[in-house]
Structure 1
Amino acid sequence: MSFNNRKFSINRQTGVPRISAKADRRFSSHEPSPQETNSKIHRQFRNAHEGHRPHAGLDPTRASTGVVWCTERAYEHGFAEEPEKWANLGQGAPEVEDHIEGSFERPKMIDITMAGREYGPTAGIKGLRAAVANLYNAHHRKGKRSQYTYENVCIVPGGRAGLIRIAAVLNNAYLGFFIPDYTAYNEMLSLFKNFAAIPSPLAESDGYHIHPNKIAEEIARGTSVILTSNPRNPTGRVVKNPQLAEIQDICRDRATLVMDEFYGGYNYTSNCDGTTISAADNIEDVDEDDVLIIDGLTKRFRLPGWRIAWIVGPKEFIKAIGSCGSYLDGGAAVPFQEAAIPMLEPDKVLAEMKALQRHFKVKRDYVVKRLRDMGFIIKTVPDSTFYLWLDLEGLPPAIADGLNFFQACLEERVIVVPGIFFDLNPSKRRDLFDSPCHHFVRFSYGPKMDTLKMGLDGIERVVAKFKHSSSVAVK
């Protein structure tokens, strides 16, 4: 086949051929006829078959999660130029400053050892793996015969990397997940073909709570892997004992539980006594119970930039998860792993969790009061995390759905995340505009108080403006 004299290329936006600037460029055996370049059936074929789409080797639709998409829209309104004038209540990040009373000061410098210059093991350095195991034994395994060791821990470069590693080692299975849930699950669940992701919606009328009978239903229909955040993103609810223990009993020897516990420290159900919610409390045998727990420094240690997280589970799983890092992500940075070890001393962590819970509960209560004063209906105050699953019903119709409310907030330099992004749809099989999440946004009270006040002032202006517009229209 000759590749000379090609005189056309394809417009990636429209799928229509265009004249090439290089007359000698050619990738087909003949010039396309008008019937090929202009006919409706050819355009339909190209759009329906990935291999025939323009630039078919790249799928740009996979480029962003919901939070990133929202940030990109904020950039269009000037967020990148003056971020200090914006209230970013969309990013799922806690404040990172050192002013929280009772919290230990974060390192400002890191000593890089000779070992820190070398490639690290993809399962993480032994010292940090042992420190994580010791923390879980001290906080969740006291008096229990079965204890974690370093072999039950894999260090990963952030929570998303951990989830990707877990997905890579799953067997052919139905994987059950609950909606609404964390937006990044959507892309992770759509990338891998070794399992089929099956959504299960939770009821708004029940506060999006996961009951044990819901888990039993999933297993009864053949689900053998269950993925969930607990405490839950975005609803701010937590499943705790005795229901959590009942769920684990139902799954034991029947299904693998993947528990995303990044918000386990943001627990307001035990009077801010530092108690962390974890499935580790209920595991009978650390090497037999098919429970994988993922957590890290990102949320409850307020160090999202460090990208240090861990997976805790049976040795057999952990060995496979550690090995697959060699071709997925290469492992976490060794100097940050070394610096993390002293942070995980159990008494230090307990004091940190007490400080964290007291501080964020104050912010939660402030945000809930301000929003209720504006007319928002908050049926259930979140008992964990730093999120509000904010219902927009009852607002003027022009801003009573997540996307329009988000757009109106951008005009006031406030970022929230439309609820539709949390209605995970990895197989693209459902019409999301029928979604029960469409009239919600996720509001994060993770940022510092000054940012929250700025954001709530902006939201108050949005509500007032549209209420005024509605009253004028009625007259």
Structure 2
Amino acid sequence: MKGFADRVSGVSEYYFSQKLREVAALISEGKPVLNLGIGSPDLSPPTEVIQALKSTADNAQAHGYQNYQGTPELRTAMMNYYQNFFGVSLNPQEQILPLMGSKEGIMHLSMAFLNPGDEVLIPDPGYPTYTAVTELLEATPKYYALDLNRKGRPDLEHLQSQDLTRVKIMWVNYPHMPTGAEGSEEIFSEIVAFGKKNDILILHDNPYTHLLTERPRSILEIPGAEEVAMELNSLSKSYNIPGWRIGMLVGKASFIQAVLKIKSNMDSGMFLGLQKGAIAALNLHKTWFEDLNEAYKNRKKLVCLLADELGLTYAKDSSGLFLWGKVPAEQDADELVNRLLQEHYIFITPGRIFGEQGKDYVRLSLCLPEFKLLEAINRIKKSKQK
């Protein structure tokens, strides 16, 4: 065997793929691990969604290959979703591409637009997959910081002072993961203008849009945005179906067509039952999100209490499924993460995996029932009393 591709040595195994093996080993030993590390919703999907999946699965004709672009009914439901929540009008035949989760969309988009040697603007801290995919395609990550005191605004003035001639793509993500910065219409407008000025494609990754936000936002709400911006969205977090792998890409027809050329060579369409479930989810009334956010508000209060016990500094008005906390000056974030797991069987995420700017931070998930969050708090309190 003549060896692996060079790209294998240039990228690491995804952190959670590796770390969750350690967590699983502890659980197999009977350790009562509380997992606040990942944002995998534990709440149940809507009843209508599960029923749509079940009823479709009972149809013997539903198990064949499906259209690469999804059914017309699914694309229409996605069109209506964008119209109802964002006021964005889309052509369901040309401007919407259903995905098997938005994570695959990051790869497909990058393959459609990047050549080796191109540069990609990536938020630091930010989703590690942006960097991994960029490096896999032999492009170069170029990181930018966020001003958390201004809802996560990028320092566009600093970026503008740099050489941007090789920059092809800029990843943005609001509500931002991991910090929870919500973003704003003003920030979107500035980013769109920046993209137009510098001939940079803006890719907005938007899976947390409904979770603990003032209101859902799309970058495509900005006038003229579709000329320079595309948006990824996902049903995983919003409808509690992360394992179903259902997402969407929306934007300019010619951009969508370029991505479809890649995607249609990578998979053979989404199971019809999942599409029917997605349609049922997208047709739900907005009260679904009101009830969902009420549950997360209650959980966040407890996660904040846990953060207080750990001495973390954090923003109480953050959005999304996580709390981003800075460790005390005398502590090391990685040491705190390891100590919590080994001594208290509480798993949280070190901020360093999201970039250099995250090295003094940790991330705590809201995806645990309240009684388990109370158990985590009690474990820390008891350890202090010894």
TM-score, length basis structure 1:
0.72
Once the two structures are superposed, residues 222-268 of structure 1 have per-residue CA deviations (whole angstroms, 9 ceiling, x without a partner) of 33310122111110111112222232233236321111100011133
Query: 2-side partners of 1:215 and 1:121: how far apart?
Result: 44
Aligned to 1:73: 22
Deviation at 1:209, TM superposition (A): 1.9
Pair 256,349 (structure 1): closer, same or farther in 2 beyond 3 Å: farther
Structure 2 contact 302–374 (Cα < 8 Å) conserved: no
How much does 1:62 deviate?
4.8
**TM-superposed deviation, 1:306:** 0.8
* 2:183 alignment partner, SS class: coil
Q: Does 1:415 align with 2:362?
A: no
Amino acid at match of 1:401: D
Q: In the alignment, what sits opposite 2:216?
A: 276
Decide whether aligned partners of structure 1 residues 190 and 332 sit closer, same or farther in structure 2, where only a CA change above 3 A counts: farther
Q: Map 1:173-184 to 2 at 5 A.
A: 173-184=118-129
Name the structure, 1 or 2, with higher relative contact order (CA <8 Å, separation 6+). Answer: 2
Q: Identify the match of residue 97 of structure 1 among 40, 44, 51.
A: 44
Match of 1:391 in 2: 326
Q: Which of the pair is proportionally richer in helix?
A: 2
Quickly say closer, same or farther: Cα 1:80–1:121, change in 2 above 3 A.
farther
The answer to whether the Cα contact below 8 Å between 1:158 and 1:307 also exists between their aligned partners in 2 is yes
Question: What root-mean-square deviation, in Å, do the aligned CA atoms of Structure 1 and Structure 2 show?
Answer: 2.9
**Structure 2 partner of 1:88:** 35
Aligned to 2:304: 368
Report the alpha carbon displacement of residue 381 of structure 1 after superposing the two structures with TM.
1.9
* Preserved contact between residue 128 and residue 338 of structure 1 (Cα < 8 Å): yes
Aligned partner of 2:67 in structure 1 is: 121
Distance 1:297 1:147, change over 3 A: closer
The number of aligned residues is 377
Return the offset for 1:331: 3.4
Q: 1:232 to 1:461 in 2, by over 3 A?
A: farther
* Aligned residue runs from structure 1 range 324-473, under 5 A: 324-345=262-283, 348-372=284-308, 374=309, 376-394=311-329, 397=330, 400-411=331-342, 412-423=344-355, 435-461=356-382, 464=384
Deviation at residue 117 of structure 1 after TM alignment: 1.7
Match of 1:267 in 2: 212
Unaligned runs of 5+ in 1: 1-26, 28-50, 424-434, 469-475
Whole-Å Cα distance in 2 between the matches of residues 134 and 219 of structure 1? 40
Shift of 1:219: 7.8
Counterparts of 2:302 and 2:91 in 1: how far apart (Å)? 39
The one-letter code of the counterpart of 1:284 is: G
Deviations along 1:322-368, one digit per CA (max 9) or x if unpaired, are: 231233243332320122112212xx242222222222122222321
2:172 matched residue in structure 1? 228
Partner of 2:182: 238
Tell me whether 219-228 or 162-171 shows the greater mean CA deviation.
Answer: 219-228
Contact 1:235–1:387 (8 Å) recurs in 2? yes
User: 2:162, 2:255 → 1: CA distance?
Assistant: 21
- Does structure 1 retain, via aligned residues, the 8 Å contact 2:23–2:33? no
- Unaligned stretches of 5+ in structure 2? none
Distance 1:240 1:190, change over 3 A: same
How many angstroms apart in 2 are the aligned matches of 1:455 and 1:234? 21
Kindly report which structure 2 residues correspond to 1:178-197, keeping only aligned pairs within 5 A, or say none: 178-193=123-138, 195-197=139-141
Report the AA paired with residue 165 of structure 1: H
**Based on CA coordinates, which of the two structures has the bigger radius of gyration?**
1
Distance between the aligned counterparts of 2:206 and 2:110, measured in 1? 17
**Percentage of matched positions with identical amino acids:** 18
TM superposition shift of 1:157 = 1.0
User: Which secondary structure state, in structure 2, belongs to the residue aligned with residue 327 of structure 1?
Assistant: coil
Instruction: Give, in whole Å, the separation in 2 of the partners of 1:375 and 1:184.
Output: 28
